Chains A and B, each alone.
Chain A
Amino acid sequence: MNWFGFGFNGFGQIRANEKLADGESALDANVTYPISIDIVCRNLEEEPVQICQHNSSVDTQIRTSWSRRAALHSNSDGRLCLAGFGVGTPSQRGCGGCVEESRGCQDAHISEGYLALSFTDRVECWNSERNEKKPGWSMAIPDNNGPSLAFPLVPGGYIASKPPFYHPLSPQLLAVSLALGTEHAVLLTASGDIYTWGSGSHGQLGHGDLNPQEEPRAMEALMGMPMSTVAAGGWHSVCTSAGGDLYVWGWNESGQVGLPSRALRGEQQKSQGTGGASTCKDQESSDDVFISIQAFPALVDVTQSCEVSKISCGSRHTAAVTSTGDLYTWGWGEYGQLGQGTVNSSDEPRRVEFFKDQGLRVVDVVCGPWNTFVSAIKEDPSLHPDTNILYPL
């Protein structure tokens, strides 16, 4: 598989710091089209320089924070490689930092302050500076006889992105998947029900009001319809049904819910030079319905025929992968995180044509707060499906 990235690159998470043609540093530019990210990593601490090369049988996952991107190589020697703020010397290879402490880890979460590593028998939370010899916090994990849990779920609860790390969850919930937003959480249970809790100030809990919830509360609007995936952003939430329908709720200030956004249209009018008090007023017809907060889940038609298989949320944008291998993005686009070659935001799902143009089938998507990472494989059936090809910038 190959990973591509686009959006905020202020710390070289997508493209390493290099001098561009016009003399500017790559860190000052936003990446608006998908570019291939090099996740061949180099262990900086050892001499001679070792290159751990992933081969076709190794799946690589991506984990992100605002200023960093981590590549999680899942072979038996599972290891995490970081790029971005504070990571080694940026080099032409892009990825600069193998995290020694991560050897053998199964999964990880990175936040601005911490790096959480999940092993089979324990969880460790390291300070991001990583100048200490041992993790700031760790917890042993009992043998889990139940179904395998997706991190940040652990037996009995979940791991948050800052202290206190461990939060218990009622075993009756039968949690299988958990998405943590900036101030809220979206939980998927074994029976396909969704529970939400945290701040509700922007409708992100989906209960039809703006009240916070201290304890997980079932989303009644979706009861009876088994859901299969969940994702959470800064102030919005997304889920897909078993049948591939997409539901979104929460703040729509930047169009991240995929419904008409007044704030977005207003900004677009201003930049097109149609600003000026009276003109704006004239163009607003009384039939326009704008949504700034969607407090109940809304069914969003990403595309007419296909099912949505994977979803991910950034701070204020949303990405969805269809069963036919297309990527759709919408929401805040000021850093190029929608991958459309512009810095425009969108309140309608739009396909990212790059992948189709390159004959690539999108397999997965992982959003950082202000950027997007996509894994894709070559669609050409004549090639061996496991062939690993890196595409030029």
Chain B
Amino acid sequence: MAEEDGDHQPLRGSDPPDQVLDTVLETVLQFLTCRQDRNSASLVCQSWHRAEALTRSELFIGNCYAVSPARATARFPRVESIYIKGRPRFADFNLMPRNWGAHFRPWVSAMSRAYPWLEKVYLKRMSLTNDDLALLADSFRQFKELELVFCEGFGTKGLSEIASKCRQLRVLDLSDTEVIDDAMDWISSFPEGETPLESLTFDCVECEINFEALEGLVARSPSLKKLRLNRYVSIRQLYQLLIKAPQLTHLGTGSFSQSENIQHLDDNQDLDYHSAFAACKSLVCLSGFKEVMPEYLPSIYPVCANLTSLNFSYTNINPQQFRSVIVHCHKLQNLWLLDTVCDEGLQAVAASCKDLRELRVFPVHPDEDIEGPVSEVGLQAISEGCRKLQSILYFCQRMTNEAVIAMSRNCPDLVVFRLCIMGRHQPDHVTRKPMDEGFGAIVKNCRKLTRLAVSGLLTDKAFSYIGQYGKLVRTLSVAFAGDSDMGLRYVLEGCPRLQKLEIRDSPFGDEALWAGAHRYYNMRFLWMSSCRVSRLGCQEIARSMPHLVVELLRYEEEDAPFVEEDNNNFSVLYMYRSLEQTRNDAPESVTIL
């Protein structure tokens, strides 16, 4: 309680002690970075609520429709970086109409007025146009970082706006994002002279780039640490970039093969790729290899020993070719693979990568009913060799409970367990029993598990296990599983931390939907497609829960012949909590109850 010092402080409307409190509070709260802590702090009292709002510089919007841009910018006036998520994950698999929503426009418009000092934008599964990018480039003088993941709707014209106008741009990362070819040479749009660029990721951009311009850009970006090229960059061109940027820590190699247009005989002479890689002493993360010529793989041996992250998930190589690389990678923590490496390759991983934290195995032939190259053998090997495993995504054609149980015991630190047995309703390959016990063991033994994706033949028993033991599970993905409403009820009643629940083609209906009503305000969203919920059931929920947005989506595309267009006339139920009224940007195929 400071004494009023009349000489220095003119009396104002709010009293000095109040001011002191607020100032102290703001100064202290500035140090809170974790958003969950901030949310808690904001609930203490009005004073804290206000101070927290004034000091929050990083804003995370988990669902772009849960809150409006107006409300967000009104509450948090001093945001410097924003993270917005749009569509739910199942939209990635063509289960949602393309023009469903998640537009960046209203956000960038609001922010252009509210946050002129905005520095960072991270968008996931949003739709944005060239105009949106132009507005962004025009509105934010200090703009430094743009990361777009699973986004679409814009083209090289929009990229050009960013490149040319954002003079302080440090990060431009496009991951798994569709970019329309507007025939615009966006690489040339970067300004002349030295750039502050630290990270440039365009490995998903499916159009040619001006290589000469790229070379020049890399040469004048001394801070560049992360460079991920698209498949239009040949290995020769990669060489030319590497010798200019040996300071790189993260590299996406592009095609890693010869360009198809070999114009000169000289091109047949191989450059010293080995030395070029050897010069990159700081390289820790390697990806790309989109059209790999395996004979060039040995050139990466010099960097293998330092690698903590390797993405071979577009790399079609056989077990022997893979083994000769992986034996050098003792420090590896993140590994993404294509299943062409077979169980044998996974055994090599188990032998060499004792520090492995994350593994993803993708299928080269994502079909059902074929012989797959990886199986329970690979999973078992990994569980035995990589005891520190925290996250796994594994696509396979066959699996056994035994292997899954083994993993649950050998890898107790698992936080993410996603197993996709690609044949629907596939039982244990050996015992022909459902996969209930395997997944049951995972939830029982992996006490830190927060994300789970199940597959194979599963009865309600599996769900009873999840409800009983999966107390920390936040995200659950279910497909073609369960017997009855009880399955869903076990989960809704048993998992208090459940935030995101995505279900397809499972026999869960209105009763189960009702059983979870007490949960929905505490969840990010619920997705149910091709299940047994009826329009009536959804209407009941919508009526009794005013802050829940209940969307019914119809398929329009001819690609979905299997969808039952019964008298319910919808295929997807997508519901989420929201502070706002019904959105007005939904297409015709969406009915909001």
Do these two chains interact? no
